[in-house]
Structure 1
Amino acid sequence: MSEFQMPLAGFGPDPTPLPKGHKAFDRLVKKIQETRESLDAWAAVLAPYQKKFTNELVPLRATCRTLRIGFVRRLDEALDEKGLTQAERRGVQMLVVELTASLLGEGDDPALRALYKRRARGDYEDHAAEARKAAAAAFEEAYGIDPEAPIEEILREAAERLGGDQGPPARNAPSAAEHRRIRESIRTLYRKLASALHPDREPDPDKRDHKTTLMQRANHAYENDRLLPLLELRREIDPGQGAWAGEDEQAVKLYTKALRHELAALEDEVMIAEADFRMRFAIDPLVSLTPRNALKTLATEIKEARAMAGSLETELADIADLASLKRWLRVLRDEGLS
């Protein structure tokens, strides 16, 4: 939870109807709370995701890779054995080239690179460059997004195409004059809070400790030009006063613009947090991912990797000798896979 978790009750509707500008402010307060919670959620899910990813998925992926390499090497050996027809030999050679390229795309291996060059009669780098170019063109044609763009931009485009968040209400920063007025409002509000909260003026030890904590929050907000936490503190100190006591309509408009800018900055932080998470674990930008579904998605991936390992073990046994390999190739042919 964020250090400045908002008390929604403090910013709920007053008994009397709020003017339109005040309602807009209250909506912003709620949106900022939701955005802060989302940012906190990305931070909170990182450790459990990392642990499960490292302890379960990484070993399974390593097992699958070892089995796939064994599968390719067995097919490669078969090409040097007598007994395959020309059609079977062509099919096996094609499989060796395709599977080796896939393995090299996931990580370099000198032995696999040499195998590829021998069976494909060409360097893997040439193949990889062509494949990357084709994949980039297909991606851009399918989604209208430049795959070389920063991941934050790709995520934003993907969210819009999937009907997701359309971004903050307004991303334009306050003008220089407005910023000065906002800064002055923050300074004035901070001074009033400091006067009311100063712990040295409180004789009761418990209240002094509480005021010290509140004063630390006020200092943190002031040092970071954060308006909303100061308004929250004011409401906490005197819950009985109206949310807009002492504020004219012009001040409310100014505060609202400041909070729109604050919301935009928070939403950018959330976008960056998601982008960093995806990059850390190599998650496709177009895969739906939230802090809420991240662990469930990982569990599904682990289940699929475990099933793949079992399937690879079975298939490796199916091509252990030439007769078994020929039967396996017939099954592929009958299923239209070769």
Structure 2
Amino acid sequence: MAERRQPAKPYRKPKPPASDPRFAAGPDDADAGLAEHEPGPNEIAAAARSRSGSRSLRAPAEAGAPLSPAAQQLQRELARVERLKAQLAQMESIGQDYLNGCAQRLQPLRERLRLARRGLALALAPWLEPDARGLSRAQQGKARSLLCRLAQLLAEGGDADMAALHDRYSPQSLADKRRSAADALRARLSDWLAPDDEAVQAAADPDDLLRAAHRQWQTESAAQQARRDARQAKREARKAQREPAPAALLEQQAQQDAGATLRTLYRQLASALHPDRASDEAERQRMTALMSAANAAYDRRDLLALLDLQLQAELADPTHLERLSAQRLQAVTRLLKEQAASLERERQGEQQRWLHQLDLPAGSRIDAALLQRRLEEQELELLRQLHEAQAWLEQAGDPAGLKGWLNRNAG
């Protein structure tokens, strides 16, 4: 009996191999401190192109030619550096937008409020003169308390006339108040302040005391750091006398390869961008600008910027990194890791700087929507205070209105 033949199965194109999970993005790539929105690859690439004006270095691999593990690692580090640069640019943009909003929307209101408060303080002063009539003793006490609060607030902003007005009607001068505040602060910080520091002990103002304490802390920190550096130098000297281990030799060779790669890229750019190669004045100016950018990038070991400049100078195509030898790929990847670590430190420092400059609590996110809400809340509060000060100012010149207003509002 003839053997039955199975029908032929239809041909199916094999699936591409799954990506190796070892090269997936790790937890260290997580964004911390910015908005929860994570920019995607297209947004990151667009941000990088908008800053550098160059073509993307992250060109996709040709169909049917998957990247090697070394090339995958290179592309991952490129993405990480681009993402960190995009986050720094985003943080700068959000912070500057908020500061611009404060200047345009809040500063005019603050100036109007300052003038209204100043006018109110001056309007209350005649009612506190010895020969003034119309207010009871209790009402005069309320008016004096309000005048001193307003004058002190304005004096702290630099208004010398208001400082004199405060001292004229207040039982305690501004200098005495600052001295008392400094003494109270000094008592709270007594465990941390050096008793033999003359500047700390002589400070008669809380701000002066804090500055003196900060200088003391800096001096102590510098001395501690000098001792740590001396101990580290001794350890390094002992370590240099020993025979280097194979791992240390490999690390040293990797560092040399990375430095050589960076120097090679820079020298290629320096040669290609020499002004004598320019065909006209416009080209000379373009090459001079590129060379200036190359110098700055080389000084800060910014490999990605040098690679972008290579593309702008038409010294390479977007896929040239994937054709490097394994050794050169490792050297370039190492440089990118170093740059990513430096950018991460810069990002953390910039986040702390913006938190301090924007007067945000520690751990807050630099978020555009959050800052916009904060700006609107500050604007509403300033409008409320301005409306209140203007209403008080309208009552200050009328005895009947002033009496009723003091009874209702002033404490």
Query: TM-score, normalising length from structure 1?
Result: 0.62
| Aligned-partner Cα distance in 2 for 1:196–1:209 | 12
2:58 to 5, 8, 11: 11
Give secondary structure in 2 for the equivalent of 1:316: helix
Aligned to 1:29, which of 67, 81, 105?
81
Look up the equivalent residue of 1:11 and give its one-letter code: R
The alignment status of 1:49 with 2:100, answered yes or no, reads: yes
Residue 98 and residue 186 in structure 1: after superposition, are their counterparts in 2 closer, same or farther (change >3 A)?
A: same
3-state SS in 1 of match to 2:391: helix
Task: Say which of 339, 343, 351 aligns to 1:259.
Answer: 339
Matches within 5 A, 1:109-128: 109-110=160-161, 112-128=162-178
- Matching residue's letter, 2:122: R
In the other structure, the counterpart of 2:301 is 225
1:38 aligns with 2:90: yes
Is 1:284 paired with 2:365?
A: no
Distance, in Å, in 1 between the alignment partners of 2:375 and 2:159 is 25
Q: Distance in 1 between matches of 2:68 and 2:175?
A: 68
Q: Which moved more, 1:118-127 or 1:18-27?
A: 18-27
Distance 1:116 1:223, change over 3 A: closer
The change in CA–CA distance for 1:39 and 1:329 in structure 2 (over 3 A counts) is closer
Q: Distance in 2 between matches of 1:286 and 1:43?
A: 15
Matched AA of 2:302: R
CA distance, structure 2, for counterparts of residue 69 and residue 210 of structure 1:
55
CA separation of 1:215 and 1:125: change in aligned 2, threshold 3 A: closer
Matches of 2:297 and 2:304, distance apart in 1? 8
Contact 1:79–1:89 (CA under 8 A) maintained in structure 2: yes
* Structure 1: gaps spanning 5 or more residues: 139-145, 151-174
d(CA) in 1 for partners of 2:290 and 2:128?
Answer: 77
1:93 is matched with: 144
Check the 8 A contact 1:190/1:222 in 2, yes or no.
yes
Deviates more, 1:265-274 or 1:313-322: 265-274
Deviation string for 1:142-180 (max 9, x for gaps)? xxxx97698xxxxxxxxxxxxxxxxxxxxxxxx998765
2:376 maps to 1:325: no
Per-residue CA distance 1:191-216 (angstroms, 9 max, x = gap): 4556778898899x9xx899958963
Q: How does 1:1-338 map to 2 (within 5 A)?
A: 5=52, 9-11=56-58, 14=61, 15-16=66-67, 18=69, 21-22=73-74, 24-38=76-90, 41=93, 45=97, 49=100, 53=103, 57-80=106-129, 81-110=132-161, 112-131=162-181, 181-192=257-268, 212=287, 216=291, 218=294, 220-222=296-298, 224-233=300-309, 237-243=316-322, 245-248=324-327, 250-252=330-332, 254-264=334-344, 266-267=346-347, 270=350, 274=354, 278=357, 284=359, 286=361, 292=368, 301=378, 304-332=381-409, 338=411
Distance 1:56 1:210, change over 3 A: closer
How far 1:108 moved relative to its partner?
Answer: 2.8
- Aligned mates of 1:176, 1:132 — CA distance in 2: 54
Q: How many Å separate the matches in 1 of 2:175 and 2:365?
A: 32
> CA-to-partner distance for each residue in 1:209-241, whole Å, 9 max, x for gaps?
999589635455335532222234557722234
Q: Secondary structure at the match of 1:122?
A: coil
Taking only the aligned residue pairs, the percentage that are identical comes to 24
Amino acid at match of 1:33: K
Q: Is the 8 A contact 1:42 1:274 kept in 2?
A: no
Query: For residue 114 of structure 1, what is the amino acid of its counterpart?
Result: A
Deviation at 1:263, TM superposition (A): 0.9
- Secondary structure in 2 matching 1:326: helix
Q: Distance in 2 between matches of 1:240 and 1:209?
A: 28
Question: How far apart in 2 are the matches of 1:228 and 1:190?
Answer: 12
- Following superposition, the deviation at residue 186 of structure 1 comes to 0.6
Supply the distance in 1 between the matched residues of 2:302 and 2:276 (Cα, whole angstroms).
Answer: 25
RMSD: 4.9
CA distance in 2, matches of 1:210, 1:18: 41
Kept in 2, the 8 Å contact 1:72–1:96? The answer is yes
The whole-number CA distance in structure 2 between the counterparts of 1:301 and 1:223 is: 42
Distance 1:231 1:262 in 2: 18
In 2, Cα distance between the equivalents of 1:199 and 1:260? 32
Query: 1:178 and 1:121, CA in 2 relative to 1: closer, same or farther beyond 3 A?
Result: farther
Displacement of 1:62 after TM fit?
Answer: 3.0
Q: CA deviation at 1:314?
A: 1.7
Deviations along 1:78-122, one digit per CA (max 9) or x if unpaired, are 234334333333322222222221121122323x22322232222
Q: Which moved more, 1:289-298 or 1:178-187?
A: 289-298
* TM-score, normalisation: structure 2: 0.53
Please give the per-residue CA displacement for 1:298-318, whole angstroms capped at 9, x wherever unaligned.
Answer: 676556545543332222112
CA contact (8 A) 1:74 1:320 kept: yes
Give ranges in structure 2 of 5+ residues lacking alignment: 1-46, 189-208, 215-250
Larger radius of gyration: 2
> Structure 2 counterpart of 1:284, which letter?
D
User: In structure 1, what is the Cα distance between the partners aligned to 2:159 and 2:60?
Assistant: 61
1:108/1:209 Cα in 2 relative to 1: closer, same or farther (>3 Å)? closer
Q: Which residue in the other structure is 1:154 paired with?
A: none
Q: Which string of whole-angstrom CA distances, capped at 9 and with x for unpartnered residues, describes residues 23-70 of structure 1? A: 651342233331452376379759x929x82x7654443332222122
Q: Deviations over 1:241-300 (max 9, x none)?
A: 454732436425521442134414643774597489x4xxxx535497959567886676
